[in-house]
Amino acid sequence: MRARNVFVGAAFALLAGGMAHSALAQDIKIGEINSYSLLPAFTEPYRKGWQLATEEINAAGGINGKKLVVISKDDGGKPADAQTAANELVSSEGVAMLAGTFLSNIGLAVSDFANQKKVFFLAAEPLTDAITWSKGNKYTFRLRPSNYMQAAMLVEAASKLPAKRWATIAPNYEYGQSAVAVFKKLMSEKRPDIQWVDEQWPPQGKIDAGPVVQAVAAANPEAILNVTFGADLVKLVREGNTRGLFKGREVVSFLTGEPEYLDPLKEETPEGWIVTGYPWYSIKTPEHDAFLKAYQAKYNDYPRLGSIVGYQTIKSAAAILAKAGSTDPEKLIAAAEGLSMPSPFGEITFRKIDHQSTLGAYVGKTALKDGKGVMVDSSYKKGADYLPTDAEVEKLRPKD
């Protein structure tokens, strides 16, 4: 029980660490949290994106003349650790707002923390519909197009396919489950004639691809919905290619067009999948050209979707802070609701009704070019066009 001495010592050390950090009083600080150590493939480009944004904002005179400082923390992929980090950022660093997160459960944990502590939170990446709808709260805003929006974009293309027999493959956790549920619901509304003949739920990160592919093939579907990504997607594609699963079948796939997930596939890239993604090489708009040029000049590398998300998260945060002219959370909320701003994908708006941004996504088809996977025939889908009606949203979201 002499233990306590060490404990107090440790507490002192933490305290001292907290003090050493305190930046200049006139700076505006944003607390950023993400799964840097768990998901480096996504978060490295993401970090580059927000660093570029921070640099641009400060070069242009900061926020109403004050320098913007982003303090970044790793959450190790655990909701509990994300909350510890959020607490440190708010209590010790005195940040004006929280931003970031990737995984849905971490996004929800931080959003609940923000609601409890009355702190503004801009969720960057988590896709779960719950964060703006069933578990939405007034302190939380979200940048990326949600599960529902991406499903609606894919359904638009998928419902035009002649296929009637559909099978689904999705990782067995909330993201996969809700992606499949929304896709099925919207699809069946548009096409009452289709049948769902099989579903496979491999554990996230642990797919045993051979048996899964074989089982789907045995159900003999005409089309397949895929929600797996990352290493699971690689295994699925490789087994599917070898076993001829995709031959003569349409495939609709969430996120597969994002460079993070498409590029590793190289010459194994399956052709003709309908996917959401980010074809940075074929977007020809002035906003995107400016972003691309700045990014490539700074990093000598091409951007991934994570770069866009990181860049726009901090750009959005800065726009909100600038409009509010204050770091008071209530004023930040008032400023953010209905605020429009430019983004590399064109103008976006943070909706007042559910705090979802109208950032969209690109839908296109996969193709193989010079031994690399690319997205072709892609077109930008505005987020605003793929959200349910206001009346439905009101029903989904709890009253504040």
CA gap 122, 137 in Å, rounded: 12
Could you identify the residue written with the tokens 């976006």? Answer: 348
Q: Least distance (Å) from other proteins to the CB of residue 285?
A: 27
Element (H, E) at 386: none
CB neighbour burial string for 323-359, b if at least 16 within 10 angstroms, e if fewer: bbeebebebbbbbbbebebebbbeebbbbeebbbbbb
Which CB, 68 or 217, lies closer to other proteins? Answer: 217
Q: Least distance (Å) from other proteins to the CB of residue 216?
A: 10
Residue 38 vs residues 70, 108, 119, 245: alpha-carbon distances, Å: 20, 18, 26, 31
CA gap 147, 134 in Å, rounded: 13
Q: Which amino acid is at 64?
A: N
Q: Select from 318, 354, 306, 315 the least CA-distant residue to 43.
A: 306
CA gap 363, 39 in Å, rounded: 24
Q: Least distance (Å) from other proteins to the CB of residue 56?
A: 23
Question: Is the separation of the CB atoms in 93 and 22 below 8 Å?
Answer: yes
Which CB, 86 or 317, lies closer to other proteins? Answer: 86
Which CB, 64 or 87, lies closer to other proteins? Answer: 87
Sheet holding 140-142, edge to edge: 68-74, 28-34, 97-100, 121-123, 140-142
Q: Least distance (Å) from other proteins to the CB of residue 199?
A: 6
Q: Least distance (Å) from other proteins to the CB of residue 103?
A: 9
Q: Least distance (Å) from other proteins to the CB of residue 284?
A: 26
